[in-house]
Structure formats: C-alpha cells, structure tokens
C-alpha cells in the first residue's frame, strides 16, 4: 500500500515553503545590512562635519594644537558612533588622533597614515580648516562602514529562521516516513522459522536461459486464452489440486508446508502490484512445479517449502500451488533479477535435496513481471502459468520467463476498453 497522494502533496508544499523561507531570510538579512551601511555613511558624514567645526572653534578658544585643542579632538572621537580616527595636516606637521590607540592609524616614515584594512573606506573623509596663523590646514577621518554587533545580530536572526524551516521540513519528512513504514508494516505478516532439512549435496542442474521463442508462444497463448476482465476468474485455471482445506483456510500458513494458503495468492499479489505501481517499482511473480506425474508426499513437499523459504526469506510472500508446486512474489525486482534468482535457486535445490528428489525430473519455473504495466493480478498469474507450461513442454530450459510485448499489451487494453 502506498503513501497517500495528500501526504506527498503536503510534503511538496512544505518543502516549497521552506525554500521560500530560506530565500526570504537571507534576502531580508542582506537588505538590513545594506540599509545599515547607508545609515552609517550618512551618520559618519554628519559627525565628520561636526568634528571639523569643533576643530576650528577649539583653535580659537585654546590655540592650534595646544593641550586643550588636542583634548577636544580626542573627546569628540571618544563620543562618536562611527569615526575611528582623524589626521590634521598643516604647514607645521601632521597630527594623528585615534578613538582606540593603534586601531586605525599607522606611521610611515614619521608621517601618520590611515590603515587600509577592509573595514575602512578607500577614500577617507576630507575637509579644509580655517585656523588663524596657519596655512593649508585640513582634516581627514575614517569610519567603520559595517557595525560588527549589528551584523552578528542579523546573522543570528537569519540562522534562527533557517533552523526553524529546517526543523519543520525534518518533522514533515519524519512523519511521512513513519506513516509509510506503518502502512508497509500493516501488510507484513509475522513469520516463523522452520528448520531446513539437512541432506547431502546434489548433482549439477543444467543452466537456465530465457527462451525467446517460448516467450513469443506464451504471449500468443495468453492473448488467445485470457478471459475478459469482467468475467469471473476460476482458480482451477491456474492451480492444480482440489484440497478442501484450500477453500477454507485456517490461520496464516498451511499445516502441510508452513507457507501461505493457495487461496491467498491472488489478493496478496494484487496488493503488492498496487504498492509497487505506486512507488514505480517492478515486481516478479514466480510459479514452480516438479515435472513429475505423481504427487509429492507431505515430508518431501515440506522440505521443498523449507528450502524455498530459506532462499527467498519472505514466508508471507510464498504460497502453495497445488500438490507439488509453489508460487512466489518478489517485489522490487525486474525480470532479469527474477531469472538470476531462479537459476540460483535451481542450483541450491540440486545441492540441498539430491536424495529427496532422486529419480524425478527437474524443477520447472515460470516467471512474469509487471514491467511497468498497470496490470491486474489475474493477468500476471496467467502469464507465469503459461511460461511454466512451456517449460514442461520444452526440455531446452527448466526456466522460461514471459516477456511482455508492450504493443500487444496496449492493443489488448484498447480491446477491453
């Protein structure tokens, strides 16, 4: 069973909103920093104009470069919000003033110069001064264009908004995964573990192959024999045996082999097809049967089932098929992967059960896969059964895979619509 479309749609909407929040938070932070830089530039120009006026008036009251004059300049820099240092140049020399000693001015060849660090403007503020008795007097100053404390606050606010969006996205993803896992777990059936029989090694099985001609013939047989979709589908068309217990199963697994009841095969296959289609995954349906005229005894069939469960591991996807066959659903696998697993299982059976099945013909296996089709369980069961019949007729290979023809399948669907 797949996660509902509403959940996926909600996840997409939340993901989009989170991206919008990321962009908005970063953009808003950049705008705030740019506006703050503009405000500090305006404030620095006003403060520099006031500093120039203070320097001119202090020269009148205290005398140019007197102790009181220099103290007035230092006091103004100490109270300024933006200015970091000033240099007053005159015919009698250059004089440096700093808000914090050693922070903005260096001396090169005895003359003060502004530092050229990144937080200072390239061209300092400049104004001429009118000082009685002095010619060519000017004042320069530098300021920090970015307020470090304000920048840290902006970064903190932006990070906080991004973290909130990430938390929302993570919680949504976690909720969706939890819901998906719960839906999948609802379909899983608790399984027991039956001890496998310990037997001697076996003779080698002939390598399996995908027979193209057999697949073509199987396609033709299915297109000819497959009943209309609105007609009832009889189990006897596919499954051998008429055991009364199969019509009225009790419990999850059969007493004969401890695997799924034959009558459960169709419903479980339909459910798995729906789930795999929702996640755009493939699925392989396998039917296998011993080419032997007589029925298998219960102990031999139990060994056969135990080896099947030990190899394919998912007991709830393995079902009885008549008196001497087994059907298997392999989700999230394509036809090539199903063929490879079938070949490996044949080798395992030949190694594990040589004495138990000595003198009998080889195990025959028929496969079919969803192959991206919106297919019903009945159709997939018919294809696998047709492929199995081909293996029993053709001794070339014990494994035949039904290879679907997309064009024929589309024509078949159009003919039924």
Q: What is the pLDDT of residues 267-300, one digit of tens each?
A: 999 999 999 988 889 999 999 998 776 777 888 8
What is the pLDDT at residue 255? 92
The region of weakest confidence among 21-30, 33-42, 130-139 is 130-139
Do 50 and 118 lie in one domain? The reply is yes
**Inside any domain, residue 169:** no
Tokens of 58: 């202090």
User: Mean pLDDT throughout 76-102?
Assistant: 84
What is the pLDDT at residue 271? 93
378, 384, 389, 391 alpha-carbon torsion, rounded to 10°:
180
Do 248 and 100 lie in one domain? The reply is no
Q: How confident is the model at residue 17 (pLDDT cuts 50, 70, 90)?
A: confident
Q: 392 — alpha (psi -120 to 50), left (phi > 0) or beta?
A: alpha
Strand partners, 401: 367
> Domain holding 220: CATH number?
3.30.70.270
Give residue 22's domain range. 5-149
The whole-angstrom separation of Cα 86 and Cα 289 is 98
Mapping DSSP to helix (H, G, I), strand (E, B) and coil, where does residue 37 land?
Answer: helix
* 262 contacts 322 by C-beta, under 8 angstroms: yes
Q: Which residue has the higher pLDDT, 63 or 196?
A: 63
Asked if residue 6 has pLDDT above 80, the reply is no
Report the domain count for the chain.
Answer: 2
Asked if residue 382 has pLDDT above 90, the reply is yes
- Count of residues making up the chain: 417
- pLDDT averaged over the chain? 77
The whole-angstrom separation of Cα 255 and Cα 333 is 29
Say what percent of the chain tops pLDDT 90.
22
What is the pLDDT at residue 64? 83
What is the pLDDT at residue 415? 76
Tokens of 21: 């929040």
The whole-angstrom separation of Cα 334 and Cα 42 is 70
**Inside any domain, residue 171:** no
Asked if residue 9 has pLDDT above 80, the reply is no
**Inside any domain, residue 332:** yes
**Inside any domain, residue 392:** yes
Do 251 and 347 lie in one domain? The reply is yes
Strand partners, 140: 87, 126
Q: Which residue has the higher pLDDT, 415 or 325?
A: 325
Give the distance, in angstroms, between the CA of residue 163 and the centroid of all CA atoms in the same chain: 20
What is the pLDDT at residue 317? 95
Crossing angle of helices 377-393 and 265-278, rounded to 10°: 110
Tens-digit pLDDT profile for residues 162-203: 898 888 888 888 887 887 777 665 554 444 443 433 333 433
**Inside any domain, residue 181:** no
Do 256 and 382 lie in one domain? The reply is yes
Q: In what order do the strands lie in the sheet with 283-290?
A: 318-321, 325-331, 283-290, 363-369, 399-402
Do 89 and 18 lie in one domain? The reply is yes
Do 328 and 242 lie in one domain? The reply is yes
Q: Which residue has the higher pLDDT, 59 or 356?
A: 59
Tokens of 279: 């996640």
Backbone φ and ψ for 151, nearest 5 degrees, come out as -65, -40
416: Cα within 13 Å, side-chain hemisphere: 16
The whole-angstrom separation of Cα 126 and Cα 141 is 7
What is the pLDDT at residue 116? 66
What is the pLDDT at residue 374? 84
The whole-angstrom separation of Cα 77 and Cα 275 is 74
Tokens of 258: 């401890």
The region of weakest confidence among 31-40, 128-137, 242-251, 368-377 is 242-251
Do 132 and 199 lie in one domain? The reply is no
Do 75 and 199 lie in one domain? The reply is no
Do 210 and 107 lie in one domain? The reply is no
* 336 contacts 301 by C-beta, under 8 angstroms: no
Do 335 and 412 lie in one domain? The reply is yes
Question: Got the DSSP string for 53-79?
Answer: HHHHHHHHHH-TT-HHHHHHHHHHHHH
Do 255 and 145 lie in one domain? The reply is no
Backbone φ and ψ for 108, nearest 5 degrees, come out as -120, 120
Residue 327's CB is within 10 A of a number of other CB atoms, namely 30
Residue 344 DSSP class: H
What is the pLDDT at residue 179? 76
**Inside any domain, residue 179:** no
> Domain holding 65: CATH number?
3.30.450
């Amino acid at each position: 069973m797949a996660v509902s479309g509403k959940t996926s749609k909600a996840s997409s909407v939340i993901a989009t909103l989170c991206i919008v929040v990321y962009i908005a938070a970063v953009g808003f932070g950049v705008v705030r920093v740019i506006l703050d830089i503009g405000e500090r530039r305006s404030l620095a120009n006003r403060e520099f104009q006031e500093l120039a006026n203070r320097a001119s008036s202090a020269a009148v009251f205290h005398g140019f470069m007197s102790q009181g004059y220099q103290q007035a300049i230092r006091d103004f820099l100490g109270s300024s919000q933006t200015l970091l240092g000033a240099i007053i140049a005159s015919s009698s020399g250059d004089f440096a003033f700093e808000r914090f000693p050693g922070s903005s001015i260096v001396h090169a060849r005895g003359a003060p110069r502004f530092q050229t660090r990144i937080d200072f403007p390239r061209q300092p503020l400049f104004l001429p001064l009118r000082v009685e008795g002095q010619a060519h007097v000017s004042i320069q100053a530098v300021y920090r264009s970015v307020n470090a404390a304000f920048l840290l606050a902006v970064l903190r606010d932006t990070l906080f908004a991004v973290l909130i969006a990430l938390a929302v996205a993570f919680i949504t993803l976690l909720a969706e995964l939890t819901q998906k896992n719960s839906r999948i777990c609802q379909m899983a059936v608790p399984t027991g573990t039956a001890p496998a029989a310990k037997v001697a090694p076996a003779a080698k099985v002939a390598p399996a192959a995908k027979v193209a001609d057999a697949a073509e013939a199987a396609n033709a047989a299915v297109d000819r024999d497959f009943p209309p979709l609105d007609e009832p589908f009889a189990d006897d068309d596919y499954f051998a045996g008429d055991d009364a217990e199969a019509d009225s199963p009790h419990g999850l697994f059969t007493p004969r082999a401890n695997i799924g009841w034959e009558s459960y095969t169709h419903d479980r296959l339909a459910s798995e097809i729906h789930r795999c289609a929702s996640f755009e995954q493939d699925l392989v349906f396998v039917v296998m049967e011993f080419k032997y005229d007589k029925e298998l005894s219960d102990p031999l069939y139990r060994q056969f089932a135990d080896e099947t469960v030990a190899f394919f591991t998912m007991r709830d996807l393995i079902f009885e098929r008549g008196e001497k066959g087994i059907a298997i659903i392999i989700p999230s696998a394509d036809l090539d992967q199903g063929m490879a697993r079938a070949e490996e299982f044949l080798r395992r059976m030949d190694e594990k059960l040589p004495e138990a099945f000595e003198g009998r013909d080889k195990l025959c296996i028929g496969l079919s896969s969803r192959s991206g089709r919106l297919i019903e369980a009945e159709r997939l069961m018919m294809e696998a059964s047709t492929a199995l019949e081909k293996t029993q007729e053709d001794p070339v290979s014990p494994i035949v895979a039904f290879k679907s023809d997309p064009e024929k399948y589309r024509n078949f669907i159009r003919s039924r619509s």
